[in-house]
Amino acid sequence: MSKENSLKIALAQLNLYVGAIEKNVDAILAAAKSAKELGADILVAPELSLTGYPPEDLLLRDGFILRTQTELSRLIESTREGIDLIVGYPKAANGKLYNVAGVIVDGALVAEYEKQELPNYSVFDEKRYFTAGDKACVVDYKGHQLGISICEDIWHNTAVEQSVEAGAGLIINLNASPFHTQKIPERLDIVRDKAAKVKRSVIYVNQVGGQDELVFDGASFVIDPKGRVLQQSPCFVEDVAVIDCFIDSEGHSEVQATTVNALPDSAFDGKEFDGRYNEIPGDGQFRPEENEAMIYNALVCGLRDYVNKNGFKGVVLGLSGGIDSALTLAIAADALGGDRVVAIMMPFKYTSDLSKNAAQEQAERLGVQYESVSIEPMYKAFVGQLAPIFDGMGVDTTEENIQARCRGLLLMAYSNKMGHMVLTTGNKSEMAVGYATLYGDMVGGYSAIKDVYKTLVYDLSRFRNRLAKKQGQSEVIPSTVINRPPSAELAPDQKDSDSLPPYDVLDGILKLYIEEELSPSEIVKAGYNKEDVNRIAWMVKRNEYKRRQAAPGVRILKKAFGRDRRYPITSGFDNKA
């Protein structure tokens, strides 16, 4: 095949909105228009691009599927004057539902591929909805043999191989692949192996943006059979990249690419965070600061899209002068802009001057609205009303929890009156062991750092300050907040270490117990104190009921509470096993 017959393919990584089928089609059409202006012949959109991913039980509604088909017809008609398309959508046929990629050429749906490998683990439950296909799909497009596949297909040994056997010279893979900390290098390794095995180049197009707890990083790419990354799109931004593809008779590909952020501003973009890390290292392996940048951007992206897609005016949070609320505030300001963020300090007699000063200082640096409202009158009223019932009983954690619940009540009142969503500020270490007050500091609609261990909270805070320094700005998070001993300040001279092991020890145990699913005895063999391990394992089990009632939050690890780690509240299982 001569280079005069090259094929120009557009990779469109889009920020899709689950259930907003008309808006998603509008986004595909806008991308197609941009791609056409760049000379593209055909545009590839992500998996289930018409519905957004994951649509969950919306797929069980007949009206949802009918509307998808109606909007698919609009896309088909658009190709008469626009460019051709490969898009994803659900298709009902013979009483079954399929996850489909459709190839639309010059006003006609010329082929449909039904996804064969349906993931049913971790955050995925596609077998609840879809029936697996069993046939390859190879489309002769302008003399090029294109093998179509969807996401999980490329992680297994059937669908792509079938395409090559059927004559595919190039593999096109549509994806809705969510982010976690090791996902990008893992993804690149898998596709490299597949490309080498079938001796074909692979075009990998991924969704971008936040959807509830999931964040999609985009990072679409093209890989050749030698494992070379021929095209790499940025992370956490919408993007159209057009590649010139030459395929010889043996399926070997040569790609020339120009990445162009050619899309109009997304309806879901807030303040653009200019510290995001868009480049992927050539070997796919992230250095520590790069990894911190990727995680931070995932948190910003997840929070921004949750707030904007759900139509909130802004967010409000309790700013305590501690590091968790400080990091949350920085993420919120980067995601939405300071004018949409409200920070409320709610001091009590145990609140130190350091906390008050640090909170106000950070709020001023980030340009957010700052309020200070004492909870002492509320606390006294509650304790006074309870005094006859509690007569003769000493002060204990009950009074500490009343403080936290006064703050939760105050934040929710502000939310109701002003229309701002409450952000919770608890980290994964605290949520794991129940070091949080139900209906108190757990009150809120969303959590930016729900899946962030305490030690990583410190790392991300230092990263954000380094970024500020590089940009010639003051520290976003005051160093006094980072360097002080962590404390809930619910009692005189209280420190987290009074109730918990040091956070480096606690997080080490939790990662082995939660992420690696090791037993307590195995964790002890790894070098941790037996008493600490057994106590922490017991606390994790005992506080499942709290986590079940916690706000959703951004997922960055492979074992996030909620979507990934699903344990029963009532369980007789012996945690020492």
How high is the pLDDT of residue 210?
95
CA pair distance 276, 358, nearest whole angstrom: 26
Report pLDDT digits (tens) over 500-534.
889 999 999 999 999 999 999 999 999 999 999 99
pLDDT at 271 over 60: no
Query: Which of 115, 450, 546, 559 is the catalytic position?
Result: 115
How high is the pLDDT of residue 302?
95
How high is the pLDDT of residue 470?
87
108-117, 164-173, 478-487: the lowest-pLDDT one = 478-487
Average pLDDT of the residues in 108-125: 92
Q: Is the dihedral of CA 77, 82, 86, 90 positive or negative?
A: negative
pLDDT at 263 over 60: no
How high is the pLDDT of residue 496?
65
Contact 320, 489 (CB under 8 A): yes
CA pair distance 141, 117, nearest whole angstrom: 25
Tell me the two tokens of residue 292.
């911190």
Average pLDDT of the residues in 10-31: 94
Percent of the chain predicted with pLDDT > 90: 65
pLDDT band at 279; cut points 50, 70, 90: low
Query: Which of 8, 33, 47, 559 is the catalytic position?
Result: 47
Report pLDDT digits (tens) over 88-106.
999 999 999 999 999 999 9
Query: Which of 33, 117, 151, 213 is the catalytic position?
Result: 151
Q: How many helices (H) and strands (E) does the chain have?
A: 16, 20
pLDDT band at 575; cut points 50, 70, 90: low
pLDDT band at 567; cut points 50, 70, 90: confident
DSSP 309-320: HTT-SEEEEE--
Tell me the two tokens of residue 439.
């209906």
How high is the pLDDT of residue 420?
96
pLDDT band at 111; cut points 50, 70, 90: very high
Contact 412, 443 (CB under 8 A): yes
- Count the Cβ atoms, other than its own, within 10 Å of residue 128: 12
Contact 151, 47 (CB under 8 A): yes
pLDDT at 273 over 50: no
pLDDT band at 274; cut points 50, 70, 90: very low
Residues contacting 121, CB < 8 A, separation 6+? none
- The secondary structure of 208-275, three-state, reads EEEECCEEEEECCEEECCCCCEEEECCECCCEEEEEEEEECCCCCEEEEEEEECCCCCCCCCCCCCCC
Contact 215, 86 (CB under 8 A): no
Average pLDDT of the residues in 295-304: 94
The enclosing H or E element of 421 equals: strand 420-424
pLDDT band at 544; cut points 50, 70, 90: very high
pLDDT at 144 over 70: yes
Average pLDDT value for the chain: 88
Percent of the chain predicted with pLDDT > 70: 89
Q: Is the dihedral of CA 303, 304, 310, 315 positive or negative?
A: positive
Range ranked top by mean pLDDT from 340-344, 348-352, 394-398, 561-565: 340-344
For tokens 């046939």, what's the residue?
A: 135
How high is the pLDDT of residue 262?
42
Average pLDDT of the residues in 130-146: 93
State yes or no: is 271 an active-site residue: no
State yes or no: is 530 an active-site residue: no
How high is the pLDDT of residue 355?
86
CA pair distance 316, 422, nearest whole angstrom: 5
Of 497 and 86, the structure prediction assigns the larger pLDDT to: 86
- Length of the chain, in residues: 577
How high is the pLDDT of residue 283?
56
- Count the Cβ atoms, other than its own, within 10 Å of residue 378: 19
Average pLDDT of the residues in 335-349: 93
State yes or no: is 313 an active-site residue: no
pLDDT band at 254; cut points 50, 70, 90: low
CA dihedral 328, 332, 338, 344 (to 10 degrees): -40
Domains and CATH numbers, the chain: 8-269 (3.60.110.10), 293-493 (3.40.50.620)
Report pLDDT digits (tens) over 146-177.
999 999 999 998 999 999 999 998 999 999 99
Report pLDDT digits (tens) over 177-225.
999 988 888 889 999 999 999 999 999 999 999 999 999 999 999 988 8
Of 244 and 91, the structure prediction assigns the larger pLDDT to: 91
CA pair distance 545, 461, nearest whole angstrom: 30
- The secondary structure of 113-146, three-state, reads EECCCCCCCCCCCHHHCCCCCCCCCEEEECCEEE
Report pLDDT digits (tens) over 372-415.
999 999 999 999 999 999 988 888 889 888 999 999 999 999 99
- Count the Cβ atoms, other than its own, within 10 Å of residue 455: 18
Name the pTM for this structure.
0.91
Of 284 and 436, the structure prediction assigns the larger pLDDT to: 436
CA 165 and chain centroid, separation: 36
DSSP 335-388: HH-GGGEEEEE---TT--HHHHHHHHHHHHHHT-EEEE---HHHHHHHHHHHTT
